[in-house]
Amino acid sequence: MSVPNSLLPAVELETGTHPTHAVLWLHGLGADGHDFVPIVDELALPSTISVRFVFPHAPMRPVSINRGMVMRAWHDYDMIDAKVGVQENMESLRSSQQAIEALIDRERQRGIKPENIVLAGFSQGGALALHTGLRYPERLAGMLALSCYLPAPATLAAEAQQANLTTSVFMAHGRSDYVVPLVLAQASKRQLLESGYAVEWHEYSMAHTVCREEIDDISHWLNHVLK
């Protein structure tokens, strides 16, 4: 089933009846909500909890890093270089932040408490999950940020919400990732750690993708935060 037209369209999957927990999983640039649906069966979540997975589709928009091509993207951006980082279009980034907050509010309306909601994402979706989760005014269950970086790092100190200072953040990256350079992700990790966040960091021998070892680590982490 899909969420109402007033919200981002999404693929939904429930692991049981009457879900008590939710995972909002955001896809990468150019993909769509179907991209990570198959991973649910590989996560080995306990049958004792019922989880609603929500995989929204990003809007279609021109993307500067791809020469203005129109595709599904959470925000417009361009890469300066691996050391300087990424230049985001803040209007589009904040618009997507609000869209994800609206999906969180929808889960709350369906009876799921914020502390039982995980924001997850891969690549650009992971960046948005971090951006939104760190700024959300109520405590979340966790943030899962795969093969991504922290967008708008200069605004974090002023915009971060105390409610999620101790929320578990799972960050993972491939050592051979040439799409989102490892050095950029490591810089994000350092900023979060220096800001006092509880970051669980993982590196894998992979490119800009997901591997079996990573899925096992995600499963272990989700089983811990989805209590």
Please give the positions annotated as active site: 123, 177, 208
Q: Which of 120, 108, 115 is nearest to 225 (CA)?
A: 115
Burial class (CB in 10 A: 0-12, 13-18, 19+), 209: middle
Phi then psi dihedrals of residue 77, to 5 deg = -160, 170
* Sheet strands (E) in the chain: 10-14, 21-26, 51-56, 60-63, 69-72, 77-81, 85-88, 117-122, 142-146, 168-174, 198-204
For 30, 53, 73, the CA distances from 63, given in Å and listed in that order, are: 10, 27, 7
> What's the rounded Cα separation, in Å, for the pair 105 and 137?
12
CA distance between the termini of the chain? 25
